[in-house]
Structure formats: structure tokens, C-alpha cells
Structure 1
Amino acid sequence: MRILIANDDGVHAPGIVALHQALSGLATCTVIAPDGDRSGASSSLTLDRPLHPQRLANGFISLNGTPTDCVHLGLNGLLEEPQDMVVAGINMGANLGDDVLYSGTVAAALEGRFLSRPAFAFSLMSRQSDNLPAAAEIARRMVERYADLDLPPRTVINVNIPNLPLERLRGVQLTRLGHRARAAAPVRSVDPRGKAGYWIAAAGDIEDGAPGTDFHAVMQGYVSVTPLQLDRTFHEGFAGLTALESLL
């Protein structure tokens, strides 16, 4: 099996190094990742300039683009051999609830949706790397079990791992996405030359963290596993739109 590994923290991030080390014993792994931090890039593609892959001394490929660029190029001609699976991460920081709308890590996994095997997105709930070995072990075990999973095509598995040593993790829970409240207002700043700018503020607080959500699971010490699908159609909403059918 061949696995394409990507992230949004950048090609030099400790999470992607740990993930590559953990999966290399299971498959032939290739890393293509952004040349810098592209957190929050979502599923954006770079269309206003060419992309220039560079192979680093450790064999990883650095790309001056987004996480989606990395997977898109990897699956569509950059690599000589076809890839069987996409695994994204390990993100340093959670991707829970509404975070998946913005996450470059989740977007990288979504770009692997055309492959026959499920795509994984792994996140550790910390910016520190102390418990990164535990997260890497969880990633290895889950990817190793891919053949036991019965999922429809184009399913992405979003995994959030509490910042705990392996022996303190309480187990794995299958969860739905929770929801956050509205984010705080952007923070205005002025540079030394008097030019005003704005910083995007932190994500909103938990609004829906009920039992069964990813928020609740990780707060209780469980690894959260949420299946995601690309189809965002709100099927129940059709009934409320019938008035538009007589518009013309």
C-alpha cells in the first residue's frame, strides 16, 4: 500500500514527522506538505501562481501552496506511483465541531476522497509535542485497521486525540460534530507607520458539547472519531423551498 501524507502545519512540523515514522512500517509513505504554516486554509487551491515542489534532505516534498494543493498534485501526476490512501496530520491543535470548515488538515484528507480507501485526518489537542508519540500510535493503529471499516466512498475519518499519554486515554468514541458559538470580533492593530490591520480572533466557545459530540468525548479523555462526507446538501430543507419552483 502507498500512503500520501500531508498537513497544514507545514513540512517541518513535528506532527508530520511523527506520523510518517508511525506509518512507514505499514506502507510506502510519501510526504507532500506546505512550505510553511497554512492553518485555516480549508480546501483552497492556488490558482494565481505556479507551484514548485522541492524535495528536502529527509525525502519529504515541500510545496509553496496549500494542503489541498499538496494532495491534489500528489494524486494527479506529481508522483510516479498511484497512491492508495491519504492521511493528514498530525495537527498540533484540535479540529472539533465547526473547525472542520476551516481546517487545512481536514481539507487535505477530503482531497483524497476519490481513492478507494478511507482518508484520515488526525489532530492532537495541544500545541505541545509531549504526547505526540501517543497520538502517532493511535494513528498507526487506526490506519492499520482500515480493511475492517465498512464505509461508503468519499468518507473522511476525522480523529481528535486528547493531550494524554497512551495509558491514560480512556478509549475511542464514535461521535458527531459539536458546534461552537460565534468567534470573538477581529482584533484591530496599528503598525508603526499608522496602518491599521486586523487579526482573526480565537474560535468561539463550545455551544454544543453534549454527550455524543466530539467535544464531549475528548473532554472525557476519549479519542473522538467522526465520519465526514463531502455532500453538504441539506436534504430536509427541500420541503421549505417549494415556493421557489414556481418562480418562473
Structure 2
Amino acid sequence: MKFLLSNDDGYAAPGLAMLAQTLRRYGEVVVVAPERDRSGASNSLTLDRPLTARRADNGFYFVDGTPTDCVHLAVTGLLDFRPDMIFSGINNGPNMGDDTLYSGTVAAATEGFMLGIPSIAVSLAGHSGKHFASAGKVVAQLVERCLEQPFAQPVLLNVNVPDAPPEQIGEMQVTRLGRRHAAQPVIKSQNPRGETIYWVGPVGAVQDAGAGTDFGCIAANQPSLTPLMLDLTAYGQLDRISTWLHR
């Protein structure tokens, strides 16, 4: 198999190195990742300037753009082959519930899916970054399953793995996205010139973390696998909005 890898933590991130190490056992690996941390970049494309792609000593390409830029550039011009699968990660931190809308990790996989390639975002659901090998083991399980039974059509999957030793992690579960409460207020401070500056506040507390959610699965020390979709149409509101518009 031929794999394209990217992330949002930057090309030097340990999670990306673990992902590449894991996937090299199954085929050819090419890495195209941002030159620096672009967490929270979501699905943004750089349209106001050209992009550059350079190669690091370890063979990884690094791009002065967003995670979405990296995958788009790789598939539509940089590579001389079409990847069989795209993996994004392994992110240092969770990407669950509402957070997937902001995640550069998920965005890189989303771009691959939009280009017609099965794509999987992988995150280590903790902030210590101690157990990337556990996430690597989950990635290996997914690839082996794909080799046994390939996807009939492109899919977009979001995987979160507990930041714990492999022997402490349970069986992977298919989940839906949970929900958070609204984010906390911005944090105000002053720069040396006396101007008010603002930091985006912390995420809100978890609101929907019951059985069957990604939050609930991670709390039970099980890897979470959530299939995602991109159609944002609110089908349940079409008739109501049509009636409202034409009354």
C-alpha cells in the first residue's frame, strides 16, 4: 500500500514519527506536514500566497501552510502517485465532539476524503504524550483490517486512543461524537504597550459523554472510532424553512 501522512503538530512531532514507523511495515510512506504547529487551523486553505515544500533530513516534506494545504498539495501536484490511504496524526491531545470542527488533524483527513481517498485522523486522547506506541498499535489494527477487507468507497474516520499503556486499553468501539458546553470566556491581558490583548479561553466542559459517545469511550479507556460526514445540510429543517420563507 501507499500511504500519505500529515498532521497539525508539525513535521517534527513525535506522534508523526510513530505513525510513519508503524505504517512502513505495511507499505510505502510519504509524509507531507506543516513546518510548525498548526493546531486549530481547521479546514483552512492558503490562497493569498504561494506555498513551498521542502524536505527535512528524515525525508519528510514540510510545507509553510496548513494541514489542509499539505494534503491538497501532496495529492494534486507534489506526489507522483495517488495514495491508497491517508493518515493524519498521531495528534498530541484528543479530537472529540465539537473539537473536531476546529481540529487541523481532522481537517487533513477531511481533505483526503474530499479528494476521494480513504482517510483516518488519529489522536492520543491525553496531554502527557507518553503512549504514542498505544496509538500506533491501534493504527496497525486498522491497517490490517483494511488489508483483510478494503473499503468499498472512501471513508472519513476519526480515531481517539487513550494515553495509556497498551495492556491497559480495551477494545476499540464505534462511537458518535459527543458534545461540549459553550467555550469559556476569552482571557484578557495587556502587552508591553498597554494594549488589550485576548487569548482564546479554555474549551467548555463535556456535556454529552454518555454511552456510545467518543468522550464516554475514552473515559472507559477504550479507543474510539467515529465515522464522519461532510454534508452540513439540516435536512430536518428544509420543510420548516421553506414554509417560513414562502408564507
TM range (shorter): over 0.9
Is residue 154–residue 229 contact of structure 1 (8 Å, CA) maintained in 2?
no
**Distance in 1 separating the partners of 2:151 and 2:240:** 31
Corresponding residue of 1:32? 32
State the AA in 2 paired with 1:28: E
CA deviation map 1:205-239 (0-9, x unaligned): 10111111100010011100100011121211112
Corresponding residue of 1:10? 10
**Distance in 2 separating the partners of 1:73 and 1:202:** 32
Is residue 16–residue 90 contact of structure 1 (8 Å, CA) maintained in 2?
yes
Pick closer, same or farther for the CA change 1:149–1:94 going to 2, 3 Å: farther
| 1:159 corresponds to 2:159 | yes
Task: List structure 1 runs of 4+ shifted beyond 6 angstroms.
Answer: none
**Distance in 2 separating the partners of 1:67 and 1:95:** 15
* Number of aligned positions between the proteins: 247
Corresponding residue of 1:113? 113
Percent identity, please. 43
The 5 Å alignment of 1:138-177 reads 138-148=138-148, 153-177=153-177
| 1:63 corresponds to 2:63 | yes
CA deviation map 1:105-146 (0-9, x unaligned): 000001111455521000001232321111111112212212
Is residue 155–residue 230 contact of structure 1 (8 Å, CA) maintained in 2?
no
**Distance in 2 separating the partners of 1:219 and 1:111:** 29
**Distance in 1 separating the partners of 2:122 and 2:148:** 19
Corresponding residue of 1:47? 47
Is residue 118–residue 146 contact of structure 1 (8 Å, CA) maintained in 2?
no
State the AA in 2 paired with 1:36: R
**Distance in 1 separating the partners of 2:185 and 2:111:** 31
**Distance in 2 separating the partners of 1:197 and 1:115:** 39
Pick closer, same or farther for the CA change 1:102–1:152 going to 2, 3 Å: farther
- Partner-residue secondary structure (3-state), 1:230: coil
Is residue 84–residue 115 contact of structure 1 (8 Å, CA) maintained in 2?
no
Shift of 1:35: 0.6
**Distance in 2 separating the partners of 1:7 and 1:117:** 16
TM-score (norm 1): 0.95
Is residue 154–residue 230 contact of structure 1 (8 Å, CA) maintained in 2?
no
- Partner-residue secondary structure (3-state), 2:112: coil
Shift of 1:22: 0.5
TM-score (norm 2): 0.95
**Distance in 2 separating the partners of 1:244 and 1:150:** 45
Shift of 1:202: 1.4
**Distance in 2 separating the partners of 1:117 and 1:75:** 10
- Partner-residue secondary structure (3-state), 2:46: coil
Is residue 6–residue 67 contact of structure 1 (8 Å, CA) maintained in 2?
yes
- Partner-residue secondary structure (3-state), 2:10: coil
Root mean square deviation of aligned Cα: 1.6
**Distance in 2 separating the partners of 1:32 and 1:133:** 21
Is residue 113–residue 153 contact of structure 1 (8 Å, CA) maintained in 2?
no
Gaps of 5+ in 2: none
**Distance in 2 separating the partners of 1:204 and 1:149:** 39
| 1:179 corresponds to 2:190 | no
| 1:211 corresponds to 2:211 | yes
State the AA in 2 paired with 1:48: D
| 1:98 corresponds to 2:84 | no
Corresponding residue of 1:228? 228
**Distance in 2 separating the partners of 1:220 and 1:122:** 18
State the AA in 1 paired with 2:68: T
Gaps of 5+ in 1: none
